[in-house]
Copies of this chain bind each other. A is one copy, B any other.
Amino acid sequence: MSDTDNFLDDSLITTETTAPDSMAADQPMGGISDRAATRQARELSVGERPGTLTVREDSLAPRLFLISYDEQFFEEKEYTSYDEMLAFFHAHPQQRHWIDVRGYGDLPLMERLMQDFDLHPLQMEDVLGDYQRAKVEQFDDNRLFMVSRMTEFTTLLEIDDDQLSIFTGPNYIISFQDDYDDCLDTVRIRIRSGFSKIKQKPVLYLAYALTDVVLDHYYPTMAAIGDYIETLEERIFKGRADRRVLNRILHIKKDIVRFRRLVYPEREKIAEILRMPDDVIPEEMKLYFKDCYDHAIQAMDLAESYRESVSSLVDLYLSDQSNRMNEVMKVLTIISSIFIPLSFVVGLYGMNFQREAPDGTINRLNMPELYQPWGYPVLLSILVVIVAFQLIYFYRKGWLSNR
C-alpha cells in the first residue's frame, strides 16, 4: 500500500490526531456538515454585554514573549511574570518591542493587557472570540488593530485556521494568538539575524512582516490541498472510489470555499490599509502592502482554481459511478442474452410431445428431431453458432472491452 493510500486511511487519521484543535477527530467519515462553523456559532456568548471578555474553557495558559530591538540592540525572552516583562518594556522606551502573547487562558492577565495598552473592550472581545474575519481598524488617531487568519492543512485533511490579532503602538506591537505554535518563526529568525530590515524600520514594518508571513503561508496550505486533490483524482482513476471518496471530495470542496472566504476579507483589509492617509501608513510602507495585496489576489485565484478542480472531481466521480453501473449491466446483459435463448432451445427439446399417441397411432410430426442420429450434435453446433454470433455482436458494440 502506497503512501497516498495511507493518507486516505480512516483508522490512521483518527489515531494520528495530536494537534490541539482537532475538532475533526471525532468525525469518523469525513464530515460534510461544517462542524467548525457549528462549534464557532455555539461558543458565542449570546446576549452578553458587548465588550464582555470571556475565555474558552479549553484555552491554553498564556505564554508571554518579548522581542526588543533597535538597530544596535536585540533581546528576546519568554517571561513567566507579566510585571517583569512590563518593567523591562518600560525601561526601554528607545527600543522597539514585539509583545507576543500566545494562549488566552488567564482572563485577569488579558484584562491587564487591555488596560495597560489602551485596547478597547470590543477589540479585546474580538481577540479572545477567536472567530473574527480579517480586518483592520484605526484607533487612537494612528494606532492599528489588525486581524489575520493563519491557515494550515492539517493531518486531518482539512484546513485549520487560527486568528492572529495585532495592535500597533508608537514603539511596540502586541500580537495575540491562541496556540503556542504558529507560522511566524521565519519572522522571528529574521529579527534575530544581524542585518534584518525589520530592525531598521518602524514597528509598522514588523506588523507588515507578520501579515505578509501569514499571507505567504496560504500558499503551502493551498499546495497541500492541491496534492490532496491529486490523490483523490488518482483514487477515482484507479477505480477505487467509493462513497467515502465522494465524501472527502465534498469535504475538501467546502474547505476550499471556506478558505476563499478567509482570504477575501484579507484582501479587503489590505485594500483599506492602502487607502489610509500617509501619516498612518507612509507611502513607502504602501509599496509593501501593495505586494501583499497581489499575494492575496493570487491566493484567491488559486482557491478558485482548486474549486474548479474539485467540482470536476465530483462530475468525474458521478460519471464513474454511472460507468460502473454500466459495466454491471453489460455483464448481466451479455450473460443473459447468451444463455436465455440457449435455455429456450434446450427447453424446447425437453418437451414431452409423444411420437406415439395413447391409441398407438404414430405422430410423426411430434419432435422428429429427437430421433435423428445427428440430432444432438447438430443442435450443439447450432448453439455454438448462436453464441458466436452474439459474441461478435457484443464485440462490435464494444461491450466486451472495458470501455
Contacts and interface: CB of A to CB of B under 8 A. Distances in A.
Contact of A250 (B315, B331, B362): B315
A352 B349 contact: yes
Nearest to A368: B376
A242 to B, nearest CB: 5
Protomer copies: 5
Q: Is the interface of A mostly helix, strand, loop or mixed?
A: helix
A65 interface: no
Nearest to A301: B261
A385 to B, nearest CB: 15
A353 B357 contact: no
A329 B331 CA distance: 11
A341 B230 CA distance: 42
A312 interface: yes
A230 B222 CA distance: 26
A309 B376 contact: no
A332 B339 contact: no
Contact of A350 (B209, B237, B351): B351
Contacts of A219: 41-42, 44, 46
A316 interface: yes
9 interchain residue pairs of minimum CB distance: A47-B186, A38-B226, A250-B312, A346-B347, A41-B223, A349-B351, A332-B333, A42-B223, A33-B230
24 contacts: A31-B233, A33-B233, A33-B309, A34-B305, A38-B222, A41-B226, A41-B302, A42-B219, A46-B216, A46-B219, A243-B316, A254-B308, A258-B308, A322-B325, A328-B330, A328-B399, A336-B336, A339-B344, A350-B351, A350-B352, A353-B369, A353-B375, A365-B377, A366-B372
Interface of A: 29, 31-35, 37-38, 40-42, 44-50, 120, 122, 125-126, 131-133, 135, 137, 183, 185-187, 190, 196-197, 209, 212-213, 216-217, 219-220, 222-223, 226-227, 229-230, 232-233, 237, 239, 242-243, 246-247, 250-251, 253-254, 257-258, 261, 287-288, 290-291, 294, 297-298, 301-302, 304-306, 308-309, 312-333, 335-337, 339-344, 346-355, 357-358, 361-367, 369-377, 379, 397-399, 403
